[in-house]
């Protein structure tokens, strides 16, 4: 990979395709390390971190030790076992989860209590559609809803869920939902939250492998 190449990726809590930042000017390909890891839940894909040694860490043993400590790139035996046992079924699980989400989101997006839904299948910007089509075989299992009524509406929605669990992780076989503004992104400033559109009424959902009809019924009931 050329050190000057941009990285395109998707990220929660609002599933939108965004152009990644290019590598720092003046770096060479030999100084560019790209780690593609699977971290959340059982196993999903994602770019975790890219480190430019040429700028941040000169060729020193101490620098390498620092990066190793930050990345945690030496797996423990139990982590190796989890990866080895989950990899054979990752496509089956992600296919089911993605199909579930694709069946659920359009009906939720049309609900009168939903201000806006965020999901790759709903993208209208041509550039974002291009990135999605280039990267993805499936639209994914994660979506977000901006609910009318702000934080109270979001908390009421989460409290009414029974099948879906209120948790901040994603990518597992169980359906999870959370309120990003008070959990995953609670340390961001008010200006940052506003800039990135993480409002009081935003909820993020990671769809699992349960029956999509049960999940849709639960979400519609929670919005009532």
Domain locations in the chain as residue ranges: 8-86, 90-223
Predicted local confidence at residue 64, as pLDDT: 65
pLDDT score at 26: 42
Q: What is the DSSP string of 70-105?
A: HHT-S--HHHHHHHHHHGGGHHHHHHHHHHHHHHHH
CB contact at 8 A, 143 and 164: no
DSSP class per residue in 2-66 = -TT---EEEETTTTEEEEPPPPPTT--GGGEEEEE---SSS----EEEEEEHHHHS-S-HHHHHH
**More confident call, 1 vs 57:** 57
Q: How many of the other CB atoms lie within 10 Å of CB of 224?
A: 10
Selection from 6-15, 100-109, 180-189 with the highest mean pLDDT: 100-109
Confidence (pLDDT) at 59: 56
| Alpha-carbon radius of gyration of the chain | 19
Residue 115, SS3 per DSSP: strand
pLDDT, the chain, mean? 78
Q: Residue 92 pLDDT more than 50?
A: yes
**For residue 219, is pLDDT > 50?**
yes
Closest CA to 207 of 152, 154, 145, 150: 145
> For 111-136, what is the mean pLDDT?
91
Among 94, 76, 111, CA closest to 172:
94
Across 66-80, 81-95, 110-124, the highest mean pLDDT is recorded for 110-124
Return the CATH fold of 90-223: 3.90.1150
The reported pLDDT for the residue numbered 43 is 39
Nearest to 211 by CA among 106, 90, 99, 88: 99
Residue 146, classed as helix, strand or coil, is strand
Q: Per-residue pLDDT tens for 159-199?
A: 999 999 999 888 889 999 999 999 999 999 999 999 999 99
pLDDT > 70 fraction of the chain, expressed in percent and rounded: 68
């Amino acid at each position: 990979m050329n050190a000057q190449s941009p990285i395109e990726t998707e990220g929660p809590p609002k599933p939108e395709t965004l152009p990644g930042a290019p590598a720092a000017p003046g770096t060479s390909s030999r100084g560019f390390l790209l780690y593609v890891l699977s971290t959340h839940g059982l196993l999903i894909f994602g770019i975790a971190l890219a480190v430019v040694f040429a700028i941040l860490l000169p060729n020193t043993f101490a620098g390498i030790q620092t990066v190793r400590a930050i990345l945690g790139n030496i797996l423990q035996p139990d982590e190796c076992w989890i990866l080895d046992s989950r990899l054979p079924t990752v496509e089956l699980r992600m296919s089911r989860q993605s199909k579930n989400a694709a069946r659920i989101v359009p009906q939720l997006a049309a609900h009168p209590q939903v201000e806006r839904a965020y999901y790759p299948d709903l993208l209208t910007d041509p550039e974002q559609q291009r990135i999605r089509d280039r990267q993805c075989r499936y639209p994914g299992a994660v979506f977000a809803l901006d609910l009318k009524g702000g934080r109270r509406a979001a908390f009421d929605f989460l409290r009414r869920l029974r099948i879906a669990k209120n948790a901040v992780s994603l990518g597992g076989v169980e359906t999870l939902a959370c309120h990003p503004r008070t959990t995953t992104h609670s340390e961001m400033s008010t200006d940052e939250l506003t800039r990135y559109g993480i409002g009081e009424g935003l909820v993020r959902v990671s769809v699992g492998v349960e029956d999509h009809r049960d999940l849709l019924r639960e979400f519609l009931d929670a919005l009532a």
